[in-house]
Structure 1
């Protein structure tokens, strides 16, 4: 069995199509088909079934895919470890983060880091809280920003690096738009624009409203801060967003007002796999981040 066969098999399994896999691999379709056929002969089992124009994994194929992906991921990490050992200044950092941090925080810290380490590359992956935890556990990213930082987790460790205030946002013509501060209870009769279930900001806003003595009336839901901000600016309701999610340009922007009671915040943590040494280049970046945010590294 050759590594090439595993590469081809995984690519075909993901694309569910030999032609598309061949195009992405930059090889002839016949070469891919031949390698898959040889792999099936060596295993003594069919890995794919024809389903229309696409291919579908057999139960054996699904089992083999899981093992093959682990083998290739370990190989990729081994090659990366060698390159980073030889020159950590030219390694690659795989970083995960939620969409709300991609507007300003991630560009700022990456730009600051690359001033000192200009040859380091980055591979980014955005996601929700559960998927980011999963990506760290599976080794798909080395470090991830999440909100909140998990207090106790079997496979993931980390520390809180930032506490951020959430602001009330409302249409520019809203009666409270000109206020310096408000109590959240003043919005109890408003329609709220919230994140969809599964996003960490949703329970923060929901719990804050309950603490203010009311249950929010949800009129609209969205999956990105840009969507929430835009819907509010367009007069569809009110919401609460972190300040860094309000850095945007354009003619249609909501008014932002500080909430004094209850004070609404979110914590942001930097997480990594427990009991596993980070790649050298990721360790350099981790130390940079903790220094950037004024944190002390956990022992």
Structure 2
């Protein structure tokens, strides 16, 4: 009986967390496999136990009260600690299993992360992955909020608690429409497009800062034609002829002849960005996560090295 009550209390906290983050009571009840009235009563009992109203109804939506916002911070910590404890025990029982919690840049989800995960699972087939995609600022938050143990990012986070190691250097190419005046060339100076509109990511994204820095090194400030949140959006708008952009290029990427975009090597500035992996210095990584970190550090640079060798 005591075990059942403990399990139910934990589920109530998870349901409270879900509703606090915007899930409806009906959907939270379905996730908990109980009825909506039963969950409502459980949340009311939780408020009685805490001694304060945790939610207030705004129209058809429940919003946290000031007391609810404070309480949620502790609930998040309790649930995170419990989940980590379960993972730690599971990894003691079977060190080759467990979950690697990894967050990474959107652009790395098309080549680097799949390659690292595939190779790692060949050696550790029981390993599972909890994956998250985000921008530079969001990735740092994943580490600090303990929603990821590792992040793969394009710049070293400026935070004293985070350790970062370079994995590889990723080329950046000048992307122009297929009918652009430079499209027939393989190389170009960035200064040659100084008067043209640039399709860039919004401020705060790592690629935005790198793009602006390269343009300044080439002697101009980019004329911003559009600001997006996804690199694929940049590609699409360049293909539509709305401007040019600086786009990451994976080591094994190829451009088909009928592509609406051409990618040119930049000759007057060093068009590249560092790709690295980071973790919290004060946090002990689970065994399977430490193995993945070692795997990434050893193998991530291999594709770039082999590509350079083949070009030579």
CA distance in 2, matches of 1:288, 1:248: 30
Report the CA distance between 1:253 and its aligned residue.
Answer: 3.4
CA distance in 1, matches of 2:254, 2:30: 40
CA distance in 1, matches of 2:299, 2:267: 28
Would you say 1:206 and 2:180 are equivalent positions?
Answer: no
CA change 1:39–1:206 in 2 (3 A) is same
Which of the residues 291, 300, 308 maps onto 1:293?
300
CA distance in 2, matches of 1:9, 1:275: 29
Which of the residues 231, 234, 242 maps onto 1:225?
231
Following TM superposition, the consecutive aligned residue runs of length 4 or more in structure 1 with deviations greater than 4 angstroms are 245-252
Contact 1:93 1:282 in 2 (8 A): yes
Which of the residues 189, 195, 198 maps onto 1:183?
189
Which of the residues 273, 278, 284 maps onto 1:266?
273
CA distance in 1, matches of 2:14, 2:192: 58
Superposition pairs of residues 1-299 of structure 1, within 5 angstroms: 2-15=9-22, 17-150=24-157, 153-244=159-250, 252-293=259-300
Contact 1:168 1:240 in 2 (8 A): yes
Give a deviation string over 1:45-102, Cα, whole Å, max 9, x none: 1111122112111111111011011001100000011001111222111110011111
Contact 1:46 1:60 in 2 (8 A): yes
CA distance in 2, matches of 1:247, 1:107: 17
SS in 2 for 1:102: helix
Give a deviation string over 1:113-144, Cα, whole Å, max 9, x none: 11111221111111111111111111100100
Contact 1:183 1:261 in 2 (8 A): yes
User: What TM-score, normalized by structure 2, do the two folds share?
Assistant: 0.89
Report the CA distance between 1:249 and its aligned residue.
Answer: 7.1
SS in 2 for 1:262: coil
SS in 2 for 1:89: coil
SS in 2 for 1:90: coil
CA distance in 1, matches of 2:256, 2:130: 26
User: What TM-score, normalized by structure 1, do the two folds share?
Assistant: 0.93
Contact 2:11 2:32 in 1 (8 A): no
Of residues 9-18 and 214-223 in structure 1, the stretch that sits farther from structure 2 once superposed is 9-18
Contact 1:104 1:247 in 2 (8 A): no
CA distance in 1, matches of 2:45, 2:188: 69
CA change 1:58–1:238 in 2 (3 A) is same
